Amino acid sequence: MKRFWKKTAFFTIIALIVFSLVASSGTKNKILSQDIRNPENCILAGSLNKQKQLNQLCTSTLNHINAPTPQTTSIPIPTPNFNLTNKERFLATITDKLFTIPQPGTYEYILLRAYGAVFVNHNPEVQLPSKVVFGDEKETKDFQSTLSMGKVNGTNNCYLQKAAADALNQAKAQINIPLKSGYGDSDCTRTFATNLRFWRKYANNKTLARVQQGQETKILGTVAPPGASQHLWGLAIDLRVASEAQRQALNQNGWFRTVEYDIPHWTYIGHPLDQLDEFGFENKVIGGISYWLTPL
Ligand SMILES: [Zn+2]
Residue 52 predicted with pLDDT over 50: no
The pLDDT-based confidence of 56 (bands split at 50, 70, 90) is very low
pLDDT for res 79: 77
Q: How far is the CA of 287 from the centre of ligand 1 (A)?
A: 19
The pLDDT-based confidence of 81 (bands split at 50, 70, 90) is confident
164 or 41, which is more confident: 164
pLDDT digits (tens, 9 = 90+) for 146-158: 999 999 999 999 9
Q: How far is the CA of 238 from the centre of ligand 1 (A)?
A: 5
Q: What phi and psi values does residue 277 have, to the nearest 5 degrees?
A: -70, -20
pLDDT for res 27: 34
288 and 264 Cβ atoms separated by less than 8 Å: no
Mean pLDDT over each residue of the chain, to the nearest integer: 81
Residue 7 predicted with pLDDT over 90: no
pLDDT digits (tens, 9 = 90+) for 214-259: 999 999 999 999 999 999 999 999 999 999 999 999 999 999 999 9
Residue 40 predicted with pLDDT over 70: no
pLDDT for res 168: 98
pLDDT for res 77: 64
User: Percent of the chain beyond pLDDT 90?
Assistant: 70
Q: How far is the CA of 224 from the centre of ligand 1 (A)?
A: 9
pLDDT for res 62: 35
The pLDDT-based confidence of 99 (bands split at 50, 70, 90) is confident
Q: How far is the CA of 99 from the centre of ligand 1 (A)?
A: 25
Q: How far is the CA of 158 from the centre of ligand 1 (A)?
A: 13
Residue 66 predicted with pLDDT over 90: no
Mean pLDDT of 38-63: 35
pLDDT for res 223: 97
Q: How far is the CA of 117 from the centre of ligand 1 (A)?
A: 13
Q: What phi and psi values does residue 159 have, to the nearest 5 degrees?
A: -120, 145
Cα torsion through 80, 78, 143, 135, rounded to 10: 20
19 or 82, which is more confident: 82
2 or 149, which is more confident: 149
The pLDDT-based confidence of 203 (bands split at 50, 70, 90) is very high
pLDDT for res 82: 85
Q: How far is the CA of 203 from the centre of ligand 1 (A)?
A: 16
Q: Which residues have CB less than 5 Å away from ligand 1 (the ion)?
A: 238, 265
Q: How far is the CA of 30 from the centre of ligand 1 (A)?
A: 50
Q: How far is the CA of 262 from the centre of ligand 1 (A)?
A: 7
Tell me the DSSP string of the chain: -HHHHHHHHHHHHHHHHHHHHHHHHHHHHHHHHHHHH-HHHHHHHHHTT-GGGS-HHHHHHHHHHTPBPTTSSSS--BPP-TTS-HHHHHHHHHTTTSSSPPPTTSHHHHHHHHHGGGGG---TTS---SSS---SHHHHHHHHTT--EEEPTT-SS-EEEHHHHHHHHHHHHHS---BSSS-HHHHSS--HHHHHHHHHHH--HHHHHHHHTTS--GGGGT-PPTT--GGGGT-EEEB---SHHHHHHHHHTTEE--STT-TTEEEE--S-GGGGGGGT-EEEEETTEEEEE---
pLDDT for res 96: 87
Residue 3 predicted with pLDDT over 50: yes
Mean pLDDT of 271-286: 95
